Each structure stands twice: as structure tokens, then as C-alpha cells.
Amino acid sequence: MNLLDLLYIPLGLATAPFWLRKRREGWDQRFGHVDAMFEDSSLDPERPRVMLHAVSVGEVNALRAIVPILAESAEVFVSTTTDTGLARAQSLFRDMSRVHVVRYPLDCSWMVQRFLDLVRPDVVGLVELEVWPNFIKICSARGIPIGIVNGRISSRSYKGYRRLRVLLRPTFARLCFACVQDKDYAERIRAMGTPEDRIRITGTMKWDSVRADHCSQPGERAQQIAREMGLDLNCPIVVAGSTGPTEEQLMHESVPGDVQLIIAPRKTERFDEAAQLVPGAVRRSSGKTAPHGSTRFILDTIGELSSVFEIADLVIMGRSFNDQYGSDPIEPAGLAKAVIIGSRYGDFESSVALLRNAGGIRIETRETLSAAVAELLGDEAKRTTMGAAAQRCVREQQGASATHAGVLLGTIRNP
């Protein structure tokens, strides 16, 4: 036990009611008991072990391209924090050999020690920015290279980190490498204490994690979902992806009543609330096919939004019309969809700027959303032009996953 543990214990007790309400699962695994999640006997002792930590669904999705690259020569451990992240990782990688999905431990030293004793990574990549002091300190003490991949620290997050800079500087200084998405993120990571010679601008792996091929027809899985939900693929479909509080009603009011609207709330705990906000909406989880003529649907499942994007004529990205700083528009952009995002997208400034400059995305407010939806639904040529521009932009940005894989494997060979 160390001083940090002594801080964590009362903090954990004080916040226990909140975590219990969240109904998180796998507490034994969160305490570091992850041996039941993989078979040690199935691991090839001749292969290095690469661990990638992705907090939740968004970070897991960013790993879709890099994991197969690493699995060609290494045992890959993908750790996640949230239940939804774990479910997504298992969905993506369960059938991939040499890939093992585990829960990330709480940052108490004995839990981290137990986790590392079982996983025994040769290098650790923290996806985007997940710098837990005990985990990084213990990896450093064990001689395990650890660093950031696909790194980003938004201006909003940086304000919080900066207030704790004195306390966090030793943690950032222990990072062996920091592969970040752009120069602004690089400067913020450097200011937090990571030596400049360990920072490298590598772009974002999220561009690689999406399809960017021309597809005139939705895939088989997308068509199956459409049939099961009772959607009419011959009529316009608007998909509102990753919505947050107050946005479901906004989407319902902004999309004409005779147009099919599929709303996908970002958080599972908000599924019931979202359904109540949209009168007559048919829930995907009900397993029922909607009556003919239905136009409002709630996608309250995990792992199906990617397929549903394929059947969209227009995509609206949520958490950007409230105070949640946006959702990632790269996936529908790669599918050549016309995309609208709200004006509050601070967590995705770089990707939105690139797409906007390419003519592949529209930025709207709550007040202008309805008119923008009507305009784009009424102009197929404009939607097609936007989608093509977005897809070209995605293609031009791809390649970061191979670069990141090279850094991770190279760190093992040249610690």
C-alpha cells in the first residue's frame, strides 16, 4: 500500500453510492482477478505481449485496424474499463486468434500488481489518454515500457489536468512514448511533463478503424437489422447517432414526421428515458417488427450502430447539441454519408475541422437543425456530394494504425 492508495480508499467509500447506481459488473475482475478471462496455456511464450487499454466503446473502436496488425507477431491484450467497452471489444475480437479481452483494474497498487502478474505485458499502450498514476508507476518500476497511443487531450480536459499538473507531472514524465494526433495535443502533453523527445505526432487511428470503400448497397447485417426493425429502405432514413440528454426530443422535432428516424442513445442507462421522449417509438430491444408506416425507432442495443449507419440517407451526430462536447463523425463519413454535427464538438475539433474543410460535414445549431435536415433530405445530389467529400477525407487520413503498431513493437525491441 502507498500514499496514493490511502487517498483512493476514502474516495472510493465516499463515491460508492454513485458506482452502485451505475450497476457495473465484474468487480472481481476490476480487483485484478482477470485470469479467468484468458487461458495462460494458450499463450505462445515465443511471442511478445502487447497490452492496449481502451476505456470504453469509442476507444475500442479505434483499435479495429491496429489489433490485427499486432496479432500477426504478438499476443494482444485489449483491456477496457466500462461494461459497454468490454462488450464491444468481445464482439470485435472474440474470434481473432492471439487476442485476449480483459478488464482493466482499479488503480489501487495491489490490484494493479495482481493484474500485471497475470497479464505480464512487454509493452502497454494507453489509448487516447488514460494516465492512472499507480498503473504507470508500477509498470515503470517493472521495466515495462508504457505510453500513449492515439493520444489526445482536448482543451476542456486540459484545463482540468493543468490544475493538477504538479501532482501529475511525475506520471506524465514516466511515459516512454506519446503518439498524439496533432500538434496541439503534443504541446499539451509536453506541458504536462512528458519529455519532448518522447512525443510523436502520428495522426488518429480512428480514421483507420472505419470502412472507406464505395458501397452502393448496405451490407447483409445492415439489411437484416432493417428487416427485423420494419424499416423501408425505399424511403428516407435519418440516423441520430450517440445522442445525449435533451437531444432525443430535438431529433424527433427536427426530422419530419413522415421520415424514418432511428435514434441511438450513447449511454445504455438512458435507453428507457430516450424511448419515453419519443412518442410511439419502436425499440430495437423489443424484438418486434414495427407496424407498417412507423417512423420513429430507438436503437437500444450495443454494437449495431455501425451497421445502421449503412442504411442512413442522412446522419446527425449527437452529444453536440448539448454540453457533452460531441461524438465522433468519422465512421459515417467513411461510409460516404452526409453528416450533420452540432456546434459543440470540442472533443473532436481536429476530425471535424478536416471534414469541414473537405466539404464533408455540416455544423448546425439547435435552431438551424430542422431547416438543415429538410434541405438535405430534399437534395439528394447535395447529400451525395457531401458524402463523397467526407469519404475522400477519411481515405487521405488513414495509415496511423500501422505507424502506432511500429512504435509499440519497436519499443519492445529497443526499450
- 214 within a domain of the structure (yes/no): no
- 213 within a domain of the structure (yes/no): no
- 377 within a domain of the structure (yes/no): yes
- 190 within a domain of the structure (yes/no): yes
**pLDDT, position 314:** 98
Q: Please check whether residues 280 and 319 belong to one and the same domain.
A: yes
The residues near 240 (Cβ < 8 Å, ≥ 6 apart) are 247, 248, 251, 255, 261, 262, 263, 264, 315, 316, 318
Q: Which domain CATH number covers 406? A: 3.40.50.11720
- For 277-325, write each residue's pLDDT tens digit: 999 999 999 999 999 999 999 999 988 999 999 999 999 999 999 999 9
**pLDDT at position 142 over 70:** yes
What average pLDDT does the segment 141-148 reach?
Answer: 97
CA dihedral 299, 300, 302, 304 (to 10 degrees): -10
Q: Please check whether residues 176 and 286 belong to one and the same domain.
A: no
Q: Please check whether residues 196 and 328 belong to one and the same domain.
A: no
Contact yes or no for 290/297 (Cβ under 8 A): yes
Split at pLDDT 50, 70, 90, the class of 178 is very high
- 15 within a domain of the structure (yes/no): no
d(CA 153, CA 301): 29
Q: Please check whether residues 308 and 186 belong to one and the same domain.
A: no
- 6 within a domain of the structure (yes/no): no
Amino acid residing at 390: A
Half-sphere exposure of residue 109, counting CA atoms within 13 Å on the CB side? 11
Q: Please check whether residues 240 and 171 belong to one and the same domain.
A: no
Q: Please check whether residues 382 and 403 belong to one and the same domain.
A: no
- 13 within a domain of the structure (yes/no): no
The mean predicted confidence, pLDDT, of the chain is 93
d(CA 257, CA 211): 31
Q: Please check whether residues 35 and 177 belong to one and the same domain.
A: yes
**pLDDT, position 415:** 63
Q: Which domain CATH number covers 348? A: 3.40.50.2000
- For 229-247, write each residue's pLDDT tens digit: 999 999 999 999 999 999 9
Split at pLDDT 50, 70, 90, the class of 14 is low
**Residue 150 phi, psi dihedral angles, 5° rounding:** 55, 35
Name the strand (E) or helix (H) holding 78: strand 75-80
- 11 within a domain of the structure (yes/no): no
**pLDDT at position 173 over 60:** yes
Domain count across the chain: 2
The residues near 157 (Cβ < 8 Å, ≥ 6 apart) are 129
Q: Please check whether residues 177 and 316 belong to one and the same domain.
A: no
**pLDDT at position 368 over 80:** yes
Q: Please check whether residues 245 and 384 belong to one and the same domain.
A: yes
Q: Please check whether residues 166 and 91 belong to one and the same domain.
A: yes
Q: Please check whether residues 191 and 292 belong to one and the same domain.
A: no
- For 36-95, write each residue's pLDDT tens digit: 999 888 899 999 999 999 999 889 999 999 999 999 999 999 999 999 899 999 999 988
Check residues 218 and 213 and name the one with the higher pLDDT.
218
Range(s) of the domain holding residue 343: 220-397
d(CA 184, CA 176): 20
Instruction: Report helix, strand and coil shares of the chain as percent, to nearest 5.
Output: 50, 15, 35
The secondary structure of 359-414 as a DSSP string is T-EEEE-TTTHHHHHHHHHT-HHHHHHHHHHHHHHHHHH--HHHHHHHHHHHHHH-
Note the pTM of the prediction, 2 decimals: 0.82
**pLDDT, position 41:** 82
Amino acid residing at 278: V
Q: Please check whether residues 268 and 347 belong to one and the same domain.
A: yes
